[in-house]
Amino acid sequence: MRHLASIVAATADLATPFLVVDEQVMLHNISRLQAKCDAAGIALRPHIKTHKSSEIARRQLDAGAGGVTCATLSEAIALGEAGIGTDVYVSTPIFLNPPKLRLLEQAVELHEKLTLTVDSSDIARSVSAQAPPEVGAMVEVDSGLRRTGVAPERASHLADELGERFRGFATHGGHGYRLGAAEEAGRDERGALAASEAALGRPAGVLSAGSTPTAPHAMGPPVTELRPGTYVYGDHQQVVLGACRPEELAAAVVSTVIHASDDRIVIDAGAKALSKDRAEWLDSYGRIVDHDTAVIDRLNDNHGMVESSGLLAVGDRVAVVPNHICPVVNLFDEFALMGDRLHTVGVDLRGRLR
């Protein structure tokens, strides 16, 4: 992670804490997965909730992505308002009440194509009755995460309920976010999609899987599309899961040591900079570059506490690789993009929860 350490030195003129992205590493991550998908004949539809930035979405589309995945309608609207009208899949089921319908109509106006997610008859009916006719829908099938999505047989029934709007089946193997679980979760994704299509009894169209840890394992029949998000920046938990090499880490939070005493060090990146996201198999709220054994074991809003001494002095600056980059990016309005030169890029889709 020498590249992240060198960014700390190159950004001494910025007040901490801030989010920084290494442009070269990010572009490598984008092109590497795009090339793998191209070679496998699988469409890549990156989930933009990771970066929440129209500029980074543009890089992904320029590299060959045929469309994007959004978590919410307001992310899709913000992307369209930033000048990117594309093929958008909204991956969270949305019950179309009047305010959501207004958002849907805005999003439809801004994009070439818009596809929703359905995982219940309630939502299928709300979509069938109200969505503009050109809006399609994927049926979400649960491959083991136990979040949204239904069992394969129920998924095929929902496909029938949707009629002309039906575009295919989607799943998210988020249960691959456990140590050693990614390969099996990737197989689960393929299995759930195959079973859904078999229950349907005819070609389903798109069969979409997606998560960064499962991507290598889901990259084969019957999958036609992948929707990973985190691969663009990587993060500490992806490294631990084996889904990202340390040299592929593109993003970090730069922070300053504000206190150093006999038994602790305190940095100015707290929960409002690093989030409190920590999988149960991680011991620290992020990894300090060049201080791999330092454990950030407490976070308050504006303070990160390390139970250690002598490692660092007041005024030292460090790069912290977040455990989970998605909620961290969402805390910042902008980030420092370190390429040939340093410039500021907006997280212009930040928030946008609706």
Contact between 315 and a copy of itself per CB under 8 A: yes
Question: Between residues 18 and 166, which has the closer beta carbon with respect to a copy of itself?
Answer: 18
User: Segment contacting a copy of itself (CB under 8 A): 108-116, 162-170, 181-189, 322-330?
Assistant: 322-330
Interface residue with a copy of itself among 53, 69, 126, 237 (CB under 8 A) is 126
Question: Between residues 6 and 148, which has the closer beta carbon with respect to a copy of itself?
Answer: 148
Q: Per-residue string for binding with a copy of itself, 192-211, x by CB under 8 A?
A: --------------------
Contact between 332 and a copy of itself per CB under 8 A: yes
Minimal distance, residue 272 CB to a copy of itself, in Å: 5
Interface residue with a copy of itself among 34, 54, 72, 237 (CB under 8 A) is 72
**Subset of 35-64 contacting a copy of itself (CB under 8 A):** 49
Contact between 14 and a copy of itself per CB under 8 A: yes
Contact between 119 and a copy of itself per CB under 8 A: yes
Cα dist. 334→30, 53, 270, 320, 324 in Å? 20, 9, 17, 17, 18
Question: Between residues 202 and 301, which has the closer beta carbon with respect to a copy of itself?
Answer: 301
Look-up of token digits 């994009």: 111
Beta strands 251-260; 68-70: pairing state: unpaired
Residue type, 354: R
Question: Between residues 291 and 303, which has the closer beta carbon with respect to a copy of itself?
Answer: 303
Minimal distance, residue 242 CB to a copy of itself, in Å: 21
Contact between 71 and a copy of itself per CB under 8 A: yes
- Tell me which long-range contacts 182-187 makes (C-beta under 8 A, separation of at least 24): 182/213, 182/214, 182/216, 182/217, 182/241, 182/242, 182/243, 183/217, 185/143, 185/144, 185/211, 185/213, 185/214, 185/217, 186/213, 186/214, 186/215, 186/216, 186/217, 186/218, 186/219, 187/217
Minimal distance, residue 236 CB to a copy of itself, in Å: 15
Question: Between residues 236 and 278, which has the closer beta carbon with respect to a copy of itself?
Answer: 278
Contact between 268 and a copy of itself per CB under 8 A: yes
Contact between 281 and a copy of itself per CB under 8 A: no
Minimal distance, residue 40 CB to a copy of itself, in Å: 27
Minimal distance, residue 24 CB to a copy of itself, in Å: 25
**CB neighbour list of residue 354: distance below 8 Å, 6 or more residues apart:** 72, 73, 74, 99, 100, 103
Q: Per-residue string for binding with a copy of itself, 227-266, x by CB under 8 A?
A: -----------------------------xxxxxx-xx-x
Contact between 103 and a copy of itself per CB under 8 A: yes
Question: Between residues 40 and 342, which has the closer beta carbon with respect to a copy of itself?
Answer: 342
Rg (Cα) of the chain, in Å, rounded? 21
Residues 89 and 102: their CA atoms lie apart, in Å, by 17
Binding footprint of a copy of itself on the chain (CB under 8 A): 12-18, 49, 71-74, 92-95, 97-100, 102-103, 119-120, 122-123, 126, 146-148, 150, 174, 256-261, 263-264, 266, 268-269, 271-273, 275-278, 298, 300-303, 305, 313-315, 326-327, 330-333, 350-351, 353-354
